[in-house]
Amino acid sequence: MSRFRIEHVNTYHYANMVGLNYGEARLLPRAAAGQRVLERTLVMNPFVDDYREREDAFGNRVVWFNLRQPHQSLSVTACSLIERGPQPQAKTSPSWESVAETLTRPLYGEIELDAACVEAREYCLPSPHAPHEPAASDYAQASFNPGRPLLDAVADLTARIHAEFAYRPNATQIDTPISEVLAERHGVCQDFAHLALSGLRGLGLAARYVSGYLETTPRPGAPILTGVDASHAWISVYLPGEGWFDFDPTNGAVIGEGHLTLAWGRDYGDVAPLKGVIYGGGMHQLDVGVTVTRMFDN
């Protein structure tokens, strides 16, 4: 087991004074397979007038805040301490077709589905940032040969995305269509996650979007992964009877100890670190800084 200290700072600078600021923050990490949250705090400057925490429909920790005093900047700093171990290994990995068939069985019949499998069906459906895109399904299909074990096929798909797409910050926006990402063959971690999600769901599989962090400075001899300078994104695929298994299309790998989960949902829209409504402000600039430090290994 390893422990990691995370500091995630988001600072907004507004051209004009902001009179009211209503926002939601998903910056407090959640527990996950192989991950335990030991500490998590959120500090805002200026001090907000209202602050409330709750869990959303996906079990993510959400902070709702309201700032009514005039301000021209807002800093939101999340500090967390996480204990992380290896991702659990699957005992078996049946063919992807059998998994897709399980996820489409009638809810009531001779074979009773467990609650986890029923809940996973939500992640088979298209979502705003990962809609049904036939070209994405066609792209994914090349990794899903008949009878291939599900986890082997997903690993191959993520490796292909890593090899065939260039990581280019600022080349896309969060609403860039998947068809454009496929045509241009470049993007960032959110684009690659949405591409994989659209392709997997188009094949009848359950896959969710995961936001999180990468270790800033890996251990000696380990490669520096792409995406360490900000929050990161990857995907998780459901295997009935076994649970969820994570893959990183940006780096073409199964996640390791240096991947730290923040939140998950259908796509980026469900896990955006900050969103809300302001009155005033005009143009703004957002500065983001993320530092993930390994404290020690048990």
Mean pLDDT of the chain: 91
- Looking at the predicted structure, is the pLDDT value of residue 150 above 70? yes
CA-wise closest residue to 60 among 37, 24, 28:
28
Distance CA 172, CA 213 (A): 20
Evaluate whether residue 91 is within a structural domain.
no
Q: Residue 227: its pLDDT value, please?
A: 46
Do 125 and 20 have their domain in common?
A: no
What range defines the domain where residue 71 resides? 2-85+272-297
Residue 172 half-sphere exposure, CB side, CA atoms within 13 Å?
Answer: 24
Q: Residue 218: its pLDDT value, please?
A: 61
Tell me which of 85 and 99 has the higher pLDDT: 99
Indicate the number of domains in the chain.
2
What CATH number does the domain containing 55 carry? 2.60.40.2250
Do 136 and 236 have their domain in common?
A: yes
Evaluate whether residue 283 is within a structural domain.
yes
The pTM for the full model equals 0.92
Residue type, 123: Y
